Amino acid sequence: MKFLAKVFGKIGAGLSALRRYVAHILTVIVIIFVVSAIFAPDETPEVPESGFLVLAPMGVLVEEQASIDPTDAVLNRILGGGEVAQENVYELVTLLEQAKNDDRITGMYLNMRRFAGGSLNHLQLLADAIADFRSSGKKVYTAADNYTQTQYLLASQADEIWVHPLGGIMLEGLRTERAYYRELLDKLKVKINVFRVGSYKSAVEPYLLNGMSDEARENLEGWLNEQWQQYLTTVVRHRDIDPRMTSGKLEDLLAALEESNYDMAQMAQENGLVDELLHRHEVLDRLIDLAGGDKEKGEFEHINHRNYWQTLPESVRNRNADGMMSNNRVAIILAKGVIVDGQGMPTEIGGDRLASELRKARYDDKVKAVVLRVDSPGGSAFASEVIRQELLQLREAGKPVIASMSSVAASGGYWISAGADQIIAEPSTITGSIGVFGLIPTVDETLAEIGVFYDGASTTEIPGFSMTQPITEELGLVVQSGVDAIYEDFLDLVAAARGMTREAVHNVAQGQVWSGERALQLGLVDELGNLELAVQRAAEKAELESYAAFWPEREKTFMEQLLEQLGVVKADVEGLDIAELRQLLNPRMVLKQFNDPRAIYLRCFECE
C-alpha cells in the first residue's frame, strides 16, 4: 500500500506541477496580449477598388464553432497538437452573397491548401454559394498541388481548375471503416455483455465480431452509395468529365492512366477533371494577369475572405441583428454531438442542458416557434426522452417545433426529432437507425488472470451490476427486457408521430440507416430542405406574417478571444489526424459518453 501511495502521490504531484506550469504560461500570454493590444495599430481592412476575393477556408466546415477550453488548448500546443480550425459555413455563404454584388470584387480565387472538408450537406451548401457567385458573371479560379476528393467538390464549381504538373486528383469514392475488437477482448478476457433489438443494429458488432456482418454491410453500402451519387451530381454539373473518372471501375482508371503515360496530372487534364497544369509561380502570374497587380513584387490585387468579412456591416455579420428587434422570433436551437445524461460537455448534447434551453424558449414570449437543428448519432436513451418531452411541452404551449436534420440525425437523434411537428432532412442526411442496445463490460476474468478476485455480501437476492462480477442470467434478463421495452416505445412514438403502423415502422427500423432521400420515400421525414426552409416552415406553422430567425447567443470568453488572437486554436490541417487520434484514444472521453442510468443506448456508431 505504501508503494501505491508513493506512486499515486508522485503522479498527483506531477499533474499539479503541470497545471501550475500551464497557469504560468497563460499568465504570460495574457500579459503579452494586453501589451500587444495597447500598441497594435487599429487598422480596418480595405477592399481594393478592383480585385479578387480569395476564399481560403481553413480546417473543417461547421454550423457553429465549438467553445474552447483554454487549458486543453494550451496543453495541446505543448504536446505538439492543436485544435483543428473551423469555418462557419453560414458566414462563408453570407460573405459570398455580399461579394457577388460588390462591384469592387471582380472575381474569386479558391485556395484549398488548408481546407480539411466537412459533411456532405455543408460542402454542398458552400458549393451552391460558389456557383451562385459565378452566376453573376464573375469568374472563379482555383489551384492546388493536389486535390483531395473533398477539396475537389468545391473546386469543381470554378470556371477554371489548375493543378501542379506533379499533382492530380482521383475520385476514389466514399469509404468508411471501423475497428473490431473481438479477438483483442478475448485475449484480455474482457467480456462485453450486449443486449440489442433488430438485425441491423450494428453499433455493438465491433465487440462481438472480427468483421462486419452481411446485414450491416448491406445497409451501409446502401446509404453510402446514395451519398456518392449526390457527390458526383454536384461535381459534374459544371464540368464535362470523362465517365471513366466517375464510374468507380478500376479497369477504367487504369486504362485512362495508361493513356496518360501513368501521369496523374496529365490524366486529370485529359479527362476533364482540371483545365491546366501550372507550377506555383505560373499560378501567381496568371492571377496577376487576371486580377491586376505587380509581377515584380509577386502580388495580385485581392482581399482574403476573413478580412472581407470584417469590412461588412454589423447588420450583415450579426445574424441576430433582425431578431434582436423582433417580437416574433423563430428560435434555432442546436442539438449537436453525442447525447449524454446530465449537462454534458460543449461538444456533446447534455440532456439536461438542451432541455433547459427548450424550456427557456417555451417561457420566452418573443419566441413564437422553434427549429431544432439536429446533428447527432444519438446516445443515452434516458437523456433522449428528457429532450423529447420538452419538445412536446413546447408544442402544448402552442409553439410549433420543426426538426431540421443536418449531417446526422440517427437513433437518439431521430428519437428527439420525432417529438417535432414536422421533420425536414437534407438529401444527404444520415438518419433512421431506429434501434436500441445495452452495453455492459465486465472484467472479472481479466482480474482473475492476475490473481485479483472480488467477493462480498448483499441484503437481497436481487442481482446488482458490477464490472468485477459476471452478468448473471437474471440480470441479463432485466437489461434485455429494458432494451426490448425501449424499442417498443421507439416503435410506438415513431408510429404516432409519422402516422404509420407499428409493423411499417418495424420494417424500416431494426437499426437500419437511411439517407434523407430514402427516409422521405419511407415516410420517416416530411420534406427535403435546408435550415432556411425549416425556419420558413416554422413561421408558417406559427402563422407569422413577419418574423426573424434567432440563433443561440454564446459570447466568447476573454480566454477564448485571447487564444484565438494568439493563434493557439488555429491549427493547420495536418493537425487533424493528431486531434482525432487523441480523442479516439482518450478513454475518459469515450467512457463518459456511456452514462445512461440504465445502460441503454440509442446510438449509431457507423453514422459518425
Q: Please give the positions annotated as active site.
A: 201, 411
| Distance, CA of 349 to chain centre | 13
Could you give the dihedral angle defined by the CA atoms of residues 499, 504, 506 and 511, in that order, rounded to the nearest 10 degrees?
-80
AA letter at 351: G
Terminal-residue alpha carbon distance, the chain: 43
Separation in Å, CA 297 to CA 5, 142, 255: 65, 21, 44
For residues 533 and 527, the answer to whether their CB atoms sit within 8 Å is yes
Cell numbers placing 212: 462486419
Supply 293's cell numbers: 497587380
The total number of residues written for the chain in this structure: 608
Residues 6+ apart with CB under 8 A from 7: none
What 3-state class would DSSP assign to 516? helix
CA proximity to 571, closest of 90, 91, 114: 114
CA dist 336 and 364 (Å) reads 22
Report the chain's C-alpha Rg in angstroms: 27
CB of 440 within 8 A of CB of 465? yes
Separation between Cα atoms, residue 181 and residue 186, nearest integer Å: 9
* Residues whose CB is less than 8 angstroms from the CB of residue 607 and which lie 6 or more positions away in sequence, other chains included: 377, 408, 410, 411, 430, 433, 513
Distances (CA, A) of 572 to 6, 84, 133, 274: 41, 7, 27, 26
Q: Which of 272, 55, 238, 282 is nearest to 169 (CA)?
A: 272
- Apex 142 CA angle, 136 and 148, nearest 5: 125
Distance CA 83, CA 18 (A): 20
| Exposed/middle/buried for residue 571 (C-beta within 10 Å: 0-12, 13-18, 19+) | buried
Report how far Cα 337 is from the mean position of its chain's Cα atoms: 8
Partners of residue 333 on adjacent β-strands? 372
What does 357-422 look like in DSSP terms, one character per residue? HHHHHHH-TTEEEEEEEEEE-EEEHHHHHHHHHHHHHHHHTT--EEEEEEEEEETHHHHHHTTSSE
- CA-wise closest residue to 104 among 157, 148, 52: 52
Using CA of residue 503, residue 351, residue 533, residue 540, what is the dihedral sign?
positive
